[in-house]
Amino acid sequence: MSDKKTEILEWLERNKKTVLIAGVSVIVLIVAVIVIVCVVNGKKKNGGDVAATPTPVIIPTTVVTTIPTDVPKQNTPTPTATPTNAPAATPTSTPVANATPTPQPTATPTAVPKATPTPEPVETGKITYEEAKQILYRYSKETLGLKKDAREYDIDPVQTTALINGSDCYCFTLLEKDSEGKLRNRGEYYISDDGTACYVFDSESGSFVPLPLG
């Protein structure tokens, strides 16, 4: 209790002005009330309802009451929590499973079949230029209308072909040097590319004449 009294006295000492102003305001309010009561009673004694000149009463309209905000706090002892020796939590070691890596499936490369080159179509029954020349050499000089065998003549190196009776034919131009050393054309012969026909060019008629097999 002595501690509380001491605190109150200290608070009053600090807030002396505030308490004084509050007390004066209360006294003024009480005096004003007493004056009003006296005036009312005097009117009643002087004739009840007779109108009398009202006596102005100064009533303080503004009462400044300063409520101290610094209210002393009671030092209520805060109960001190007695620490309880709680058993320390033993950390539980959670076994971490060794994650076995799942083997990813290895993509087996798909063997892409190599494009097999398409062989060029082989035309059956066709003969080469050299083979056609050998067929020409089988013909006799009489059949060919020559003075000597065909192999004894030079052949124009330019290889040409002609379409005769619907068949491609190799052209062989037989050449012979004259007395002046100039090459003379002794005849043009055509062997079909299947080796079944031989033609001679007739310069007089301008046509191809088939020859019998030699």
Domain boundaries, the chain: 1-72, 129-211
pLDDT at 109: 54
pLDDT band at 199 (very low <50, low <70, confident <90, very high): very high
Give the pairing type, strands 154-155 and 160-164: unpaired
CA geometry: angle at 18 spanning 13 and 20, to 5°?
A: 85
**Do 128 and 134 meet the contact criterion of CB atoms below 8 Å apart?**
no
Mean pLDDT of all residues in 47-73: 46
8 A C-beta contact, residue 146 and residue 187: yes
Residue type, 35: V
SS3 call for 201 = strand
Which structure tokens are listed for 212? 């019998």
Directed axis angle between helix 2-14 and helix 16-45, to 10°? 80
Distance from C-alpha of 39 to C-alpha of 29, rounded to nearest angstrom: 16
The model's confidence at residue 190, banded by pLDDT at 50, 70 and 90, is very high
What region, left, alpha or beta, does residue 8 occupy, with left being phi > 0 and alpha being psi -120 to 50 degrees?
Answer: alpha
* pLDDT in the model for residue 46: 60
Q: Average of pLDDT values for 51-71?
A: 46
d(C-alpha 30, C-alpha 40), whole Å:
16
Of residues 141 and 98, the one with the higher pLDDT is 141
- Exposure b/e, 129-158, CB count within 10 A at least 16 = b: eeebbebbeebeeeebebeeebeebebeee
pLDDT tens for 7-46 read 888 877 888 888 788 888 889 899 888 988 888 787 666 6
Q: Which of 61-70, 90-99, 104-113, 171-180 has the highest mean pLDDT?
A: 171-180
Measure Cα distances from 110 to 10, 81, 107, 114 in Å.
100, 77, 9, 12
Mapped onto helix, strand or coil, the DSSP state of residue 109 is coil
Task: Give the range among 102-106, 128-132, 147-151, 175-179 with minimum mean pLDDT.
Answer: 102-106
Q: Are 72 and 8 within 8 A, CB to CB?
A: yes
Q: What digits encode the pLDDT tens for the residues 111-159? A: 554 544 444 444 546 999 999 999 999 999 999 999 999 999 999 988 9
- Whole-angstrom Cα distance, residue 99 to residue 194? 79
